[in-house]
Amino acid sequence: IVINEINYNSSDDFNPEDWVELYNSSESSIYIGTWKLKDEDNDHVFPIPENTILSGGDYLVLCKDATAFESQFPEVTKFIGDFGFGLSGGGELLRLYDSNEQLVDKVEYNDIAPWPTEPDGTGPTLELIHPSLDNTLGENWAASNGPGTPGAKNSVYDYEQ
């Protein structure tokens, strides 16, 4: 399971609030119920609901505000919320832990190079170029084409990887 797309500072014209997309790059379903998403603040914890299963090759969006997210992306059906804390526009550490409190993935994004700067308030999201790449490195991310692709393959997906 990888953190595959991040929306941390929407534009004023299109604001689904903050969200994080998870991707299961394996062919097998993975039980992620009781896993946790955290940011830099250890008090900011979003427990993924029990009985949540992420199928192989599938996506799940974790939303700060599910109502705001659904109003902007009505076609997306695989999302859960509300994680209740915002993501920083000036850089942030996101961490995903399994039910045994083992770190599964982490991304410490920023809004300065080598991280794409366009996702900081101008509309695009941060999209991982390919899920096999190291998502801790800014050069492996790009600004989305449009307001992001929650629940679907990233718009900047590199088929050569």
pLDDT digits (tens, 9 = 90+) for 56-111: 999 999 999 999 999 999 999 999 999 999 999 889 999 999 999 999 999 999 99
CA distance 114 to 39: 21
pLDDT tens digit sequence for 121-133 = 999 999 999 999 9
pTM of the model: 0.96
CA distances to 39, 91, 96 from 44, rounded to whole Å, are 6, 16, 12
Q: Cβ(19)–Cβ(84) under 8 Å?
A: no
CA distances to 35, 99, 134, 148 from 143, rounded to whole Å, are 28, 31, 16, 8
